[in-house]
Amino acid sequence: MTPQPTLPVPDAPVLATEALVAGYERDVPIVRGVDLAVAAGECVVLLGPNGAGKSTLVRAVAGLVPILAGAVRLGGTDITTVPAHEKARYGLAFVPQTENIFARLTIHENLQIAADILPKPARSRRIAALYDMFPDLVARPSRRAGQLSGGQRQMLAVARALVAEPSVLILDEPSAGLSPKAVAELFARLNGINVAGVTTVLVEQNVKAALAVGDRAIILVEGQVCHEGPASSLADDPIVAELYLGARRARAAGR
């Protein structure tokens, strides 16, 4: 029998990792002991240079990368060993960086797939709500998702993730490959989603845009948390500048 998700414990983080070690091979961990705590309604931005383990961390939380040690908790429930498809039912939504929509299915079918885990009466109501939230998608719902532009695809991917009313939304570099206009639109939408109460974890390379929407930023280097602080103060932090210029990375990690 599937364990029922429990409500969040007051003041407890909605999403937490405890000494999380993850990677594809046991003797080559990519994430090396990460403690993460995300409070309800918060938008946390994960930053770090290429190869820092940001994507591996969120993919491990979503159930796509093996967890080698440590724990993941969602709303106080240990979901470390819960399979990926069950995590969606616990209220975790994940938008991968690439191939994050079903290109051969229609726009409507992409939303239906996500709604199929909801009770029947709620499905069409939720899909209608998502069409209201993303009016670009409602114009031609029978269009094949593979025919959408890059920006529209990301909107569909986010819409698909939101169908099941998740408590936590994790996005892995949603701005990758998008035009500046599409990035601006996407981040405005993500900000609105977070303001509406969905706890958000955002992995990004687009530091400026991410820090503008995030409440707090965590910087990963070589699979470990190197620095963290309020997003507003990190925007001008020299550590962030150094990491993304690729200079003196080792020294920055040691601070």
Listed residue (22, 88, 85, 25) closest to 55, CA to CA = 22
Q: Is 121 exposed, middle or buried (0-12, 13-18, 19+ CB in 10 A)?
A: exposed
Q: Using the rule CB under 8 A, is 99 a contact of another protein?
A: yes
3-class state of residue 74 by DSSP: strand
Q: Does 53 bind another protein (CB under 8 A)?
A: no
Q: Is 72 in the site for another protein (CB under 8 A)?
A: no
Q: Does 181 bind another protein (CB under 8 A)?
A: no
By CB under 8 A, name the one of 127, 159, 164, 182 that touches another protein. 164
Q: Which residues on adjacent β-strands are paired with residue 46?
A: 203, 218
Four-point Cα dihedral 81, 100, 154, 61, nearest 10: 20
- The residue range among 108-116, 193-201, 207-215, 242-250 that interacts with another protein, by the rule CB under 8 A, is 108-116
Query: Residue 165, interface with another protein (CB under 8 A)?
Result: no
State the DSSP code for 130: H
83 binds another protein (CB under 8 A): yes
- Let me know the angle formed at the C-alpha of 30 by 206 and 44, rounded to the nearest 5 degrees: 40
Q: Residue 84 or residue 241: which is nearer to another protein going by CB?
A: 84
Q: Which two tokens stand for residue 29?
A: 């961990």
Q: How far is the CB of 201 from another protein (least distance, A)?
A: 14
Contact between 127 and another protein per CB under 8 A: no
Where along the sequence are the contacts to another protein (CB under 8 A)?
62-64, 83-85, 87-89, 93-94, 96, 99-105, 109, 112-114, 116-117, 160, 164
